Structure 1
Amino acid sequence: MQVIDRGLSWVWRVCLLIGLIVGIIIPPMLLRLVNELDDKGGPIGWQIALVIAYFAIFILVIIAASAAYRHYTGEVQLKRLRHQDFAYVLGGYLAIILCEGIFQIINQLLYQQNQTQNNAAIKSLMSGSPVAMWMMAISAVFLTPIVEELVFRGVLTNLFFKQEWLKIGLSGLVFGSLHSSSTVPSFLIYVTMGLILALVYRLSGKIQDSIILHFLINAGAMSIMIIGLLN
């Protein structure tokens, strides 16, 4: 995959990445505020404002990350999907499910944890109020895959290093580090997921492949969480 070097210094590249990551971190904070307002019977106007701000931030980050992605790859239009792309997605999906299952078993055996700290935090946000639950569900399935793949795969792997293994490794480590983990196996679940998503993107050369794969993973996880919360 050809990368176009636009001459931006490492310092500014790091600043660009940090800015995009901040945009990813803010929405969960807004969800906590929605839960607090709902718990305390806060004004409905503030809750509506927070809902609007929540989705607006996702849109702004998508626009900014898309611009950076196009700038550093030179890709103005997305490439057409072919049969091979679905093989990449399916292979990546099976690899993530297998690795997650193995690390989860290790996590349960060594630390008696049946879920990661990240999933526990998501459940806590979703159980606060019905509004927060559906906000998280919608964003996790339809917006988070786009945002995180543009940032951690589309932008990050094209900003730093020339060697493919370093690009993929950095993407996996940054992705894993930004997901809450209290044990080594749970940390490795997200690092491995990031590595596989990055590998799918770099092998296919199409950001849509990793977005679709991320969508499938999140859709499955959200479905299980919602069913558990509603029962």
Structure 2
Amino acid sequence: MISMDRVLHSLVCVSFFVGWYLIQYALLAFPGITTYNDALAAWPLFTILFILPYSLFSRAYYQKRTGLMPFGTVRFSDLRLPIIAMVILSVATMFYGEDETSILEMLALSPLHQFILVVSVVFAAPIIEEIIFRGFLLNAGMGYGPNGKHVMIIITSVLFAMIHHQYNSPATFIMIFVMSVIFCHVRIQTNSLMAPIILHMINNAVAMLLLFLLNDTP
């Protein structure tokens, strides 16, 4: 029988996820944000100034109350196989994916906006998304046995792929889904949130580096 404490814990975890989802719409209330290009330029700074603090404070409060979301420690041996899997996945996506217009539009931003974008994508986004998805959302399904864990990994990964709605290629969505599954397993096996954060940062850093190198025009 499932205890009420377990159900309440799951609802609390989901509420933090819902809070993260809703806070993103606050950007629409900012004056001057009327077009997609406006949002593209403002989003990285909004992420750093508002969404990152929300995620960090939520995680700190939850960890203090439950102890179920430690940053933990990381060993290279924990990252070796996931990194190899990420490389294979990225190479496969390069062959079967399509050019994403939303990514190319980033190159039209000013140098200052590009710098803020890099900080947001490489550092802020991995911390935020791992806390929200591999932290709160994954924890919502823990404690319900092996089936509950596996179902929550799938749900977490589907939602993680869906929130990256700026992409158009099915191959990109599949890549993001599989990447999330990898991050979920790493989080569970290491009991460390830092491990998937580092993997996520590596993935985003390589993606941003290739974006600027391969599209650098004289």
TM-score by length of 1: 0.72
Task: Kindly report which structure 2 residues correspond to 1:123-162, keeping only aligned pairs within 5 A, or say none.
Answer: 123-160=104-141, 162=144
Task: Kindly report which structure 2 residues correspond to 1:10-49, keeping only aligned pairs within 5 A, or say none.
Answer: 13-23=13-23, 33=33, 36=38
Q: What's 2:89 paired with?
A: 99
**What is the aligned counterpart of 2:185 among 185, 196, 199?**
199
Percent of pairs identical after alignment?
21
Unpaired runs of 5+ residues, structure 2, are none
Q: What's 1:56 paired with?
A: 49
Q: What's 1:214 paired with?
A: 200
CA distance in 2, matches of 1:202, 1:76: 11
Q: Which secondary structure does the structure 2 equivalent of 1:8 belong to?
A: helix
CA distance in 1, matches of 2:103, 2:28: 9
Higher normalized contact order (CA 8 Å, seq sep 6+, divided by chain length): 2
Give the CA RMSD over aligned residues: 3.4
Deviant stretches of 4+, over 3 Å: 9-15, 22-30, 32-37, 50-54, 75-78, 228-231
For residue 23 of structure 1, report the CA deviation from its aligned partner: 4.0
Unpaired runs of 5+ residues, structure 1, are 40-46, 108-112
Change in Cα spacing, 1:123 to 1:106, as seen in structure 2 (3 Å) is closer
Task: Kindly report which structure 2 residues correspond to 1:168-207, keeping only aligned pairs within 5 A, or say none.
Answer: 168-180=153-165, 181-207=167-193
For residue 135 of structure 1, report the CA deviation from its aligned partner: 1.1
Cα displacement string for residues 113-144 of structure 1 (whole angstroms, at most 9, x for unaligned residues):
2x3x4xx3133134222222111111111111
Aligned length: 204
Asked if 2 retains the 8 angstrom alpha-carbon contact of 1:73 and 1:158, the reply is no
Change in Cα spacing, 1:185 to 1:36, as seen in structure 2 (3 Å) is closer
For residue 51 of structure 1, report the CA deviation from its aligned partner: 7.7
Change in Cα spacing, 1:55 to 1:88, as seen in structure 2 (3 Å) is same
Asked if 2 retains the 8 angstrom alpha-carbon contact of 1:127 and 1:229, the reply is no
Change in Cα spacing, 1:74 to 1:11, as seen in structure 2 (3 Å) is closer
Q: What's 1:44 paired with?
A: none
Cα displacement string for residues 142-165 of structure 1 (whole angstroms, at most 9, x for unaligned residues):
111111111110111101352321
For residue 225 of structure 1, report the CA deviation from its aligned partner: 1.6
Change in Cα spacing, 1:78 to 1:55, as seen in structure 2 (3 Å) is closer
CA distance in 1, matches of 2:108, 2:141: 39
